[in-house]
Amino acid sequence: MYTPHTAEEIRAMLEVIGAPSLEALSDPPTGLEIKSALDVAPALPEADAYAHILGMAHANAAARMVSFLGAGAYRHYQPPAVPYYAFRSEFLTSYTPYQAEASQGSLQAIFEWQTYICLLSGMDVSNASVYDGATALVEGVIMAAQVTGRRRVAISRAVHPLYRRVLATYAAGMDVEIVELPVNADGVTEVPADVSSELAAIAIQSPNFFGAVDEVSSAAARAHASGALLIHVTAEALALAVLKTPRELGADIAVGDAQSFGLALGYGGPYVGFVATTKEHVRRLPGRLVGQTHDVDGRRAYVLTLQGREQHIRRELASSNICTNQALCALIATIYLAVVGRKGLLSIAGANMANARTLADAIVALPGFGITHRAPFFNEFVVQTPVPAAELCAALEKRDILAGLPLARFYPDLTHALLVCATELTTPQHIADFTRALSEETRRAVAAV
């Protein structure tokens, strides 16, 4: 399909090689041939393939719905300049920048990403990215275990449930023990005053999974008093624009997902995780790192550095097994941050907060609906619903509205709780349609009972 060889060229090349046929070169040893027919659909011409996949895309009705669904993946405005430059072939079709002389573009962009993450988080150093927010948390926990020599980590129940699931998967194989910290009636994590001296870290997300700005600094103080590190988790990176930085709150390690910075929802990926820390722990930082140096002519240049920590040099002694990172996603986020700038990011964050408050006011005005968490929120919050939230979601989906996340999906006790999100893309019309639908479907559900 995309190969250039003519029959004549193949003959000529085989002759140079001294092989009688393509099969003679490429067939496996006797006994390892494929014996059965492969269950692979016959090839489609390119135009048919395009139409076929377009049909699959059209079959995703949820992509076209008005949405109040966040929960760790956010629909934000993507300025057209972002994909326009990020998807230039020279970035898209290059490999990991091992050859510095041939990769200054990618290397400088990663250096700029590292800088943005430091400026946003307040931390000293950031790596070149990891797979997503959940794996960033895992890497943060591994770092903390290495730094402290301890194997137990306390994590808030208000950290994204899927991040915690991923951490549990890794912990099961890595001899790390996870204990959970409870969440109080205001939606904020409760850290016991006597945290165990065996803890490697306390992990707190803010804004947390319920949308609440969590109590990070008191958790940090308690962690530090017992020799543990504080891991600050961010699932909605846009909040970093306005909230106190993880560093100001006492974090030793800041991890999270930067999907909000110009990356498509894309049914879950690819997104981009970040891991940032203090100078003190730089050698424990996993994954790639780009540093600034100069070339033999004295020109400023960038290069992958501290590779002595990495798997291709240290093999089983590496600080992590990460090889591929999320360079293109980090580039998208970097271009996003460059295009919107300080001014744009602040106004986008402001619009999120404003729209979320308009939404909250409109929902609270509905009979039977309420907000019980008193903690401040950014763009997402929990609504108490008069009928089971899952039923409301199913009813609203029929009206082409994604109402949010019924919390019972991850917290089985919370049957009447709905996590809703507003972003800068939420309009007054969306909110009016949403609240009308909520109220009508609630009445219908109550009447049915």
Selection from 141, 66, 74 nearest residue 333 by Cα: 74
- The dihedrals phi and psi of 239, each to the nearest 5 degrees, come to -65, -25
Q: Which two tokens mark 108? A: 């400088």
Contact in structure between 90 and 105 (CB atoms under 8 Å):
yes
Bridge-partner residues for 178, per DSSP? Answer: 153
Helix (H, G, I), strand (E, B) or coil at 374: coil
When asked if residue 314 is in the footprint of another protein (CB under 8 A), the reply is yes
- The dihedrals phi and psi of 183, each to the nearest 5 degrees, come to -120, 135
Considering the complex, what minimum distance in angstroms separates the CB of residue 288 from another protein?
Answer: 7
Selection from 388, 90, 382, 75 nearest residue 236 by Cα: 75
Considering the complex, what minimum distance in angstroms separates the CB of residue 430 from another protein?
Answer: 14
When asked if residue 19 is in the footprint of another protein (CB under 8 A), the reply is yes
Subset of residues 425 to 444 that bind another protein, contact rule: CB under 8 A: none
Considering the complex, what minimum distance in angstroms separates the CB of residue 366 from another protein?
Answer: 22
Q: Which two tokens mark 432? A: 């009016």
CA distances from 121 to 111, 145, 278, 347 (A): 15, 22, 11, 19
Closest to another protein by CB, 191 vs 215, is 215
When asked if residue 373 is in the footprint of another protein (CB under 8 A), the reply is no
Contact in structure between 264 and 78 (CB atoms under 8 Å):
yes
Q: Which two tokens mark 49? A: 């393939």
Candidates 57-65, 178-186, 194-202, 381-389; binding stretch for another protein (CB under 8 A): 57-65
Closest to another protein by CB, 6 vs 194, is 6
Which listed residue (236, 252, 310, 441) binds another protein by CB under 8 A? 310
Considering the complex, what minimum distance in angstroms separates the CB of residue 122 from another protein?
Answer: 8
When asked if residue 160 is in the footprint of another protein (CB under 8 A), the reply is yes
CA distances from 338 to 81, 115, 331 (A): 10, 12, 10
Considering the complex, what minimum distance in angstroms separates the CB of residue 260 from another protein?
Answer: 13
Closest to another protein by CB, 19 vs 432, is 19
Closest to another protein by CB, 100 vs 226, is 100
Report DSSP letters for 116-141, one per residue: HHHHHH--SEE-S-BS-HHHHHHHHH
First to last CA, the chain: 60
Considering the complex, what minimum distance in angstroms separates the CB of residue 444 from another protein?
Answer: 19
Closest to another protein by CB, 195 vs 383, is 383
Which listed residue (66, 132, 234, 275) binds another protein by CB under 8 A? 132
Subset of residues 328 to 347 that bind another protein, contact rule: CB under 8 A: 328-329, 331, 334-335, 337-347
Give how many residues touch another protein by CB under 8 A.
Answer: 205
Considering the complex, what minimum distance in angstroms separates the CB of residue 367 from another protein?
Answer: 26
Candidates 181-189, 225-233, 244-252, 437-445; binding stretch for another protein (CB under 8 A): 244-252
